Structure formats: structure tokens, C-alpha cells
Amino acid sequence: MNKKYDAIIIGAGVIGCPIAYELCKMGYKTLNVDKNPDAGEGSTAGSCAIVRAHYSTADGVALAYEGFKYWLDWENYLDNVQDEKGLAKYMNTGSLLLKSEGHDWKKVKKNYDEVGVKYEEWDNEKIKQMVPPVDLHKFWPVTRPEDPKFYDEPTEFLEGGIFCPEGGYMNDPALSAHNIMRAAEAKGGEFMFNAEVVDIRSENNRVVGITLKDGTQIDAPIVVNVGGPHSYKINKMAKGVWEGCNIKTKALRHEVMYCPSPDDYDYLNEGYHISDGDIACYARPEVGNTFLIGSEDPKCDPQEWVDPDEFYAGKGGPGRDNQLTEAQWKAQCYRWAKRIPTLPVPNQPKGVVDLYDCSDDWIPVYDKSDLDGFYMAVGTSGNQYKNAPVVGKMMAGLINACEKEGLDHDKTPFQFKYQYTGRVMNVGFFSRKREINKNSSFSVNG
């Protein structure tokens, strides 16, 4: 006899764990299945875990802003659960968005006003005072170090920035997923590791369960795809699901660099998260007084869409496998080193390479599917870590409304009320059936 659950969640990353947690709180008997050995060991482990509110849509801003409240109140969110590994910590450094041609900051500001996000406008002088080693020259447009224009002397200056005192990062993303797993377990949730899902079984257009690589079958009337960069592979396992999505997902390779802070600058304790569209980089502090430098994927950089299984197995060769490349190391570090001219750039690349589960418009798909009982929280596009706890609640609400209250979400989209900001979110915004959202920045900024 197959084991039975009310809901099976494929994936135990930072999105899969809170979905289980919220469903458990509603009385569902859940099982998370993950092929990795522990929670948060997928792309969550490689995440920069930055928590910031600037998005190009008001809905994006609202979702992120709601998320802040959960990170700020982490222990309560977890219902004070114990985790033998300790608790991840939210570092509320504040977040600075430099005004540049690389970001539609005017739109961001309008969204902040609409949602009620607290912010201050800083002029260059104020930024210099708060971030002493910064050079506020305008380096736009973004180029690569192989291009001689990269070394052109800048002549103009940026026009200040927008600072949000709320914002920062979680210091250990994998641990944060582990914490939520322990919280879910305390509410009756179960987790199964080293278990790869190879098939989604269905009958009469209704999901009935999953099959693992070793042949084990587990049954549930609800299955949720939270497979991160593998999401498209899982959607393809379920009958008609992939075909029924207008918005598709793919895995995009992304490198993040660790570069030491200049000796005379205590970035770890005094620095902010900074988003800098002028050089297409973002940065946040990391232990060891290090700058963690991510890329906003400018047009001039190569985009590598890869097979996630090959990538994680270290296959595909330089630029496609899970090793940093020297060219990208130089591109990201030198871009950042223009902004911080005293930044020392080591010869040996150090950092992480992981995958974004990218949707066609860089906005996630939080939705049901064309197969009854099959749901998905996918297409997180490198920017949904910060929203994970809210997404958990929203997905659990959506699943419950469809399964228990007979809601036809495709016809009458589920309306989700945010607990803290009180705003009502039309979850149809994240529909798999949507047309590509032209308002999107088509980048990690969502």
C-alpha cells in the first residue's frame, strides 16, 4: 500500500518549506520530498538572500514589503521552534538604490509611495557621508572589461539615491529554510530527503501522487511543484501541465563574487545593501568584511541557459558548469571596483555559481495548473527569497480555496490579504496563463 498524505510538496527550499508550514497550520498532513540531503541545499543555498523592496511593479513592492515583517519577526514567525543548527539571522542593514539609467527608479519611488514603504532621498553628499569609499561618477552604459570603452574616464555624476532603512539580508539562506522545516515539523509536517521524484501520477485529470526514482509511490490528492531551477522538468512530468502554461520557466546560470572590503572600511558592520543599475551590480556585506557582488544581468553579458542536472553535476564546461569563470569574475568585480576605487580584487575568483529559475518575464508563477490538484510556485527568477514566508502563506491560501472552497482560480482569481500591510493581492497577477508582463524589468529586479 502506498503511503498517503493530504499534500506532497516537491522541493524543500526556502519556498517549499513555508508552503508546507502554512498547510500544516491549516491541518493538512504534508510531505516534502527533496533529492538533496537536507533542506535549503538547492538554489536557496547559493542565494544572496537580500531583502529589499524595490521592484518595478507596485504588486512586487507590496509583496516584498510584506515579507520584511516576517524576517524582522523571525522567531515568532517560526512559532519559537528549536533548531539544533541554530537560527538564521536577519541583518537589517538598510538598502540603498542608486538613481541611474539602469533602473526605472522613478517608477520604484511611485510604487513606494503607493504601498507606503518608508524611504529617504539621499543626495550624493549624503551618500558619500554614509558610504565613504564610494565614487559617484556615472559609468553608464554598462560594458565588459574586454571592451576598451570600459576604461573610459567618467565625467558626469549620478544623482543620488533612495534609501530604505528597512532592508538587508538573511545571513544564512540554507539555514533559514532548515528553520522553516523544523517549524513545519513541529506542526506535523514530514520531510523526505535523498528522494528524487521521477513521475507525477494522475487519473481522470486529477493528480494522485508521485513516483520516486527507486520506484516508491506516494499518494496525495495535492502535489505542489517547488522544484526551483528544476521546475520545468517537474511540470513536464505532470500530464498537460507544461503545455498549459503560457509563461514557461528555464534555468539561468548566475555567478556571485566575494571580494574583500578595503582595509579601512568596515563594510560588514557599517555597510548597506546597494543596488547599482549604473554598473548593473548589487552588493551586500558578508562575513570576513567581504563584499558579495551580484550581477543584474546587463545586455552585454552572456546569458547561459543550462540543464540543471548537468549544471549541478559540474558538467557542460567553463561558463556552463558550476564553477566561476575568470571573465565574469573580472566583469563583476571591476564594475564594482569602479564604484569602490579602493576595492582590492584578488587574482583568484571566489564566490558561488547557482541557478535562477527564470520565468519568461522574470515574474514568478504562483498558481494552480491545468491538472486538478497540481500547483506550482516556480519561476522565482533570482528574486523571491525575500518573499518566501509570504509566498508560503499565499500558496497555502490558494490551495485551500481551490480544494476546500471550490474556487475556480482561473475564472475568479484568489484574493490574498496581507497580514501586516493589510493590502489585498490579486493572485491572478502570478497566473501561468498571463501574457508576458511588459511592466517587468526583465531582470533580477522583477
Partner 1 sequence: MKIFVCVKHVPDSAATIVVRDKNQIDDKITFLLNPYDEYAVTEAVKLKKNLIQNGASSSLGQAQQSNQIEIIAVSLGTSDAEKTVRSAMEMGADRGILIKTDDRHQDSITTAKALKAAIEQDCSNQVACEDQSKEQEPAIIFTGRESIDMGGMQTMFRLGAYFNFPVVNNVVKFAPDVNFSVNRKVIVETLTEGGGRDVYEITLPCIIGAGRGLNTPIYPTFPDVVKARKREIKILTLSDLLKGSESDNKGAKTEIIDLELFAEKRTPKSIKGNASQIAKEIVKILKEEAKVI
Ligand X SMILES: Cc1cc2nc3c(=O)[nH]c(=O)nc-3n(C[C@H](O)[C@H](O)[C@H](O)COP(=O)(O)OP(=O)(O)OC[C@H]3O[C@@H](n4cnc5c(N)ncnc54)[C@H](O)[C@@H]3O)c2cc1C
Binding site residues, ligand X, CB under 6 A: 10-16, 33-36, 41-44, 46-50, 196-197, 226-230, 234, 254, 256, 354-356, 380, 382-386
Dig out the grid coordinates for 282 from the structure.
Answer: 548589487
Query: Distance between CA 355 and CA 338 in Å, rounded?
Result: 27
Q: Taking CB under 8 A as the rule, does residue 198 contact partner 1?
A: no
In the complex, the smallest distance separating the C-beta of residue 404 from ligand X, rounded to whole angstroms, is 25
- Which one-letter amino acid corresponds to residue 224? V
Q: Taking CB under 8 A as the rule, does residue 348 contact partner 1?
A: yes
Q: Taking CB under 8 A as the rule, does residue 338 contact partner 1?
A: yes
**Residue linked to cell 526605472:** 104
In the complex, the smallest distance separating the C-beta of residue 319 from partner 1, rounded to whole angstroms, is 9
Q: Which does 351 bind (CB under 5 to 8 A by kind): partner 1, ligand X, none?
A: none
Residues 6 or more apart whose CB falls under 8 angstroms from that of 319 comprise 253, 302, 304, 325, 327
Q: Which does 269 bind (CB under 5 to 8 A by kind): ligand X, partner 1, none?
A: none
Pinpoint the alpha helices (H) of 4-84.
16-25, 58-72, 74-77
Q: Taking CB under 8 A as the rule, does residue 317 contact partner 1?
A: yes
**Residue linked to cell 565614487:** 135
Q: Taking CB under 8 A as the rule, does residue 326 contact partner 1?
A: yes
Give the closest residue to 146 by CA, choosing from 255, 294, 253, 302: 302
- In order of 122, 131, 258, 261, 292, the CA distances from 266 in angstroms are 21, 10, 15, 7, 14
Q: Taking CB under 8 A as the rule, does residue 288 contact partner 1?
A: no
Applying CB under 8 A, among 47, 143, 231, 325 the residue interacting with partner 1 is 325
Dig out the grid coordinates for 366 from the structure.
Answer: 504562483
User: Of the two residues 178 and 233, which places its CB atom closer to partner 1 in the complex?
Assistant: 178
User: Of the two residues 136 and 358, which places its CB atom closer to ligand X in the complex?
Assistant: 358
Query: Distance between CA 305 and CA 235 in Å, rounded?
Result: 18
Residues 6 or more apart whose CB falls under 8 angstroms from that of 389 comprise 18, 67, 70, 71, 77, 180
Which residues from 236-275 bind partner 1, rule CB under 8 A? 260
Residues 6 or more apart whose CB falls under 8 angstroms from that of 198 comprise 211, 212, 213, 237
- Which one-letter amino acid corresponds to residue 282? Y
Q: Taking CB under 8 A as the rule, does residue 342 contact partner 1?
A: yes
User: Of the two residues 150 and 429, which places its CB atom closer to ligand X in the complex?
Assistant: 429
- Report how far Cα 220 is from the mean position of its chain's Cα atoms: 28
Please give the helix or strand (H or E) that residue 251 lies within, else none: strand 249-260
Dig out the grid coordinates for 350 from the structure.
Answer: 571566489
Q: Taking CB under 8 A as the rule, does residue 318 contact partner 1?
A: yes
User: Of the two residues 151 and 305, which places its CB atom closer to partner 1 in the complex?
Assistant: 151
Dig out the grid coordinates for 300 from the structure.
Answer: 552585454
Beta-ladder partners of 120: 163
Q: Taking CB under 8 A as the rule, does residue 82 contact partner 1?
A: no
User: Of the two residues 43 and 437, which places its CB atom closer to ligand X in the complex?
Assistant: 43
User: Of the two residues 160 and 277, which places its CB atom closer to ligand X in the complex?
Assistant: 277
Dig out the grid coordinates for 217 from the structure.
Answer: 509511490
Q: Which does 292 bind (CB under 5 to 8 A by kind): partner 1, ligand X, none?
A: none
Beta-ladder partners of 252: 305, 356
Q: Taking CB under 8 A as the rule, does residue 134 contact partner 1?
A: no
Length of the chain: 446
Give the closest residue to 155 by CA, choosing from 176, 132, 170, 137: 137
Helix (H, G, I), strand (E, B) or coil at 352: strand
Q: Which does 48 bind (CB under 5 to 8 A by kind): ligand X, partner 1, none?
A: ligand X
**Residue linked to cell 545571513:** 171
**Stretch of 280-288, 338-346, 358-366, 378-386 lying at the interface with partner 1 (CB under 8 A):** 338-346
User: Of the two residues 237 and 402, which places its CB atom closer to ligand X in the complex?
Assistant: 237
Q: Taking CB under 8 A as the rule, does residue 155 contact partner 1?
A: no
In the complex, the smallest distance separating the C-beta of residue 279 from ligand X, rounded to whole angstroms, is 17
Query: Distance between CA 170 and CA 163 in Å, rounded?
Result: 19
User: Of the two residues 135 and 370, which places its CB atom closer to partner 1 in the complex?
Assistant: 135
Q: Which does 228 bind (CB under 5 to 8 A by kind): partner 1, ligand X, none?
A: ligand X
User: Of the two residues 140 and 334, which places its CB atom closer to partner 1 in the complex?
Assistant: 334
User: Of the two residues 317 and 406, which places its CB atom closer to partner 1 in the complex?
Assistant: 317
CB 389 within 8 A of CB 88: no
Q: Taking CB under 8 A as the rule, does residue 302 contact partner 1?
A: no
Q: Taking CB under 8 A as the rule, does residue 116 contact partner 1?
A: no
Which residues from 39-68 bind partner 1, rule CB under 8 A? none
In the complex, the smallest distance separating the C-beta of residue 308 from ligand X, rounded to whole angstroms, is 8
Binding site for partner 1 (CB under 8 A): 151, 260, 314, 317-318, 321, 323-326, 334, 337-338, 341-350
